[in-house]
Amino acid sequence: MIQRYFYTLLLIFSLASCSQGSSDHDWPVHGLNHRADRFSPLQQINTETVQQLGLAWFFDLQTDRGQEATPIMQDGVLYFSSAYNVVYAIDARNGHLIWRYDPQVMAASARSCCGPVSRGVAVSKDRVLVAALDGRVISLDKKTGRVQWQVQTIDPANPLAENYSITGAPRIVKDMVLIGNGGAEFGSRGYVTAYAIADGAKRWRFYTVPGQPGRPDNEASDDILAKVSNTWAGEYWKYGGGGTAWDTIEFDPELNMVFIGTGNGSPWNHQMRSSGMGDNLFLSSIVAVDADSGEYRWHFQTTPADAWDYTATQNMIMTDLEIEGKTRKVLLQAPKNGFFYVLDRVTGEFISGENFVNVSWADGLDASTGRPLEKSSARYYRTGQPTFQFPSSGGGHNWPPMAYSPNTGLVYIPAQDVGMPFGAAKEEQVIGAYTTGVAMHAGGALDEASKKALYDGMRGYLIAWDPKTQREVWRVEQQAPFNGGVLATAGGLVIAGNAAREIVVYDAQSGHKLWSFDAQTGVLAPPITYSLDGKQYIAVLAGWGGGWPLTGGVMALQAGNSIGPNRLLVFSLDGAKRLPSFEPEITPAESIVSTPPSSVLANEGAPLYARYCLRCHGTGVVSAGAYPDLRRSSIVMSEAFDHIVLGGALVDKGMPSFKDKLNENQLKALQAFIALRSYEDFGTNPSTPENNQEN
């Protein structure tokens, strides 16, 4: 009790000193404070002064693989991780490099579903902690960047070990560092582990889904998983089950609880995963555990028996709201499934929920339990027919974090309307390969009705949402889906990047655009703000790639070419720097074949592309990320393609070898599908491929 009281007093003192105009104001943790609301009390940059905002300095990152990290600013230094978990310490006043650390994870990058991205580091006293793609948590000396200790979070004896990766930022909880993992699309079982900051010693582990019956883990989750194992059926453990906690983990020091956001099933298809039976706890859930022991406290499942990749890993915000005349400690989340939730964070009780984007898979939420009122057509594996529904697997809100302003009482959500056809795949789960159990047709074989529904309904928004009334107050329509994380400030501002290569400042009350900056690349990472020597700065990592920008393919092209120089951009009121001139590369739109390939062979290649290639090279072979657009690559139809895909000629550059997963005949089918997509989009005299049986 004394320790909790100390933490509360420390937080109150910190906030009070900031609001009284302290000349220095850090951004010490991922969400800024223990509420994780990404709301800064700084107001030197405000609605009146924002027109004076300019670029103070920038730092080039020498990569084009995408930026997702929230920088941490402590004691005048910015700490952050770039692609491939490369960690930087930068002077926050002028952008001078202090140190750089590279954990050498290139070979492990093929494990990640969505590119070699990293959402940041954690800083504690004299240490900087980074979680690497290959599963390590690494403690670095804060002053020098030298390794102090490292621990492998993935048990090499685990038969699924090679399927895990980590892209999330570690979280500091008391004297521990907590981290989850990803990999549910490849076959994995989720868990969160707490390690001592001092030496990396393991304190506790909580598995998010049950393991094989009769085999306890001897971990903090044993008791509760024994009770919820009846929500699973079949031989789910062979596929891992999923439930990976790949992003959000938050700590409430007053309640001494850790809140874990869990992900989708492995595979997505509920029939394949669990014989179509049971809610499959704790998939797509918020799970509260005791901070000291890791023992279960409560849970709330946003999407029971998830079959659509509707994760609940999206960021959570803690605040107090007056509801029906009573002040309640609440937890706010807008997960992928399209509904905005207000939960009692003491008990996990559902308070309210409404859809904030287009939702066609459910008619709403049960008013007393919060359970979705599913439409019968949503369970595609039961109907035998594909269902086009909103949201897609990309979600109504993905990982770019929302922010909450206590001044306006509004939550600012980077939201999107994108639909997707869901159908049951015929192939079985392949452990270690990207397998969802969903026939996504590689995005290149949609019927015309599905294509029209996809493109007509595709939108991106910044939405201001009132959590008390569960209604939208304003929205700004973006040029494309999947835009950047959000920062709110006491200066009356909301700040976010977008797919159209901009950093934009909005009026928090009205959504009116006040200022913008051409970042020369799409911006997904959330901005932060800090002050040094009485001057307020805004910092953001700019760099397009990872997740939906890759797999979204043609959807991401709505904003034009979002690829550009990856940088850390820092702004202030007297900023006068200019970026070097830059023009996006324009690749000639020429087909890699002069005649269409066999449609029979191409159709065999479509599911192979979806399983092995889509996550990097894009839906429909449309690459909107930093990876090659195969529709335009002459290598595809050359002998070099065999050497790369099967021979591993580019392993050192992050392109894995698939020699143990594909044979020569399958490679030809894969080439045919890519060639067909190239001809469909760029062929000079397109004919009907179905009528052409020549290879």
Return the active site residues: 309
Indicate the pairing of strand 486-489 with strand 39-40.
parallel
Asked if the bond preceding 304 is cis, omega within 30° of 0, the reply is: no
DSSP 182: B
The CA distance from 353 to 333, in Å, is 10
* DSSP per position, 562-580: -----EEEEEETT--B-PP
Q: Nearest CA to 71 among 50, 53, 88?
A: 88
Unique residue bearing structure tokens 């959402």: 119
Indicate the pairing of strand 257-261 with strand 249-252.
antiparallel
The CA distance from 462 to 496, in Å, is 9
Residue 205's Cβ-count burial label (10 Å; 0-12, 13-18, 19+) is middle
The CA distance from 110 to 610, in Å, is 15
Distance of CA 275 to CAs 272, 378, 433, 678, Å?
6, 16, 21, 38
Structure tokens at 304: 């029971």
Query: What three-state secondary structure class fits 222?
Result: helix
Query: What three-state secondary structure class fits 499?
Result: coil
Contact 497, 509 (CB under 8 A): no
Unique residue bearing structure tokens 């983990």: 249
Angle formed at CA 517 by CA 514 and CA 521, multiple of 5 degrees: 140
Structure tokens at 565: 């120089």
DSSP 627: S
Contact 84, 105 (CB under 8 A): yes
Q: Is 444 left (phi over 0), alpha (psi -120 to 50) or beta?
A: alpha
What is the layout of strands, in order, in the sheet containing 127-131? 122-124, 127-131, 136-141, 147-152
Helix axes 664-682, 599-612, angle to 10 degrees: 100
The CA distance from 76 to 605, in Å, is 53
Q: Nearest CA to 200 among 220, 176, 224, 179?
A: 176
